[in-house]
Amino acid sequence: MKKHLLKIILPAFAIVMAAGLAFATEESNLPYVGYIATESGYAEIQTDCPNVGQNQCYEGLDPVFNDIGLTDPKLRN
């Protein structure tokens, strides 16, 4: 009886764990759109800056902005 119960419970537990962990992604892993200055104007980039905090976000040495006009700096913690 113990083996029979274990054969049913163990796969069910594995399915529940897999479904739960599938939704356990962090929001900070999602890419955000940002803009950097280039010689020809601006370039749209994917960044990991969530625009919260007080420090300017950088992509390499280039500061990242929220708008195409490059006036609203993107922030990070």
Return averaged pLDDT per consecutive 10 residues of the chain, 77 residues in all.
76 86 66 92 91 91 94 92
**Cα separation values, 11 from 5, 16, 20, 22, Å:** 11, 9, 14, 16
Q: What is the pTM of this model?
A: 0.60
Which of helix, strand or coil describes residue 15?
A: helix
- Looking at residue 16, its pLDDT comes to 87
Q: So where are the chain's domains?
A: 27-76
Note the pLDDT tens digit of each residue in 34-53.
Answer: 999 999 999 999 998 888 88
Q: How far is CA 70 from the centre of its chain?
A: 22
N-to-C CA span, the chain: 55
> HSE on the CB side for 59, CA within 13 Å?
20
- Looking at residue 12, its pLDDT comes to 86
Measure the CA–CA gap between 4 and 11, rounded to whole angstroms: 12
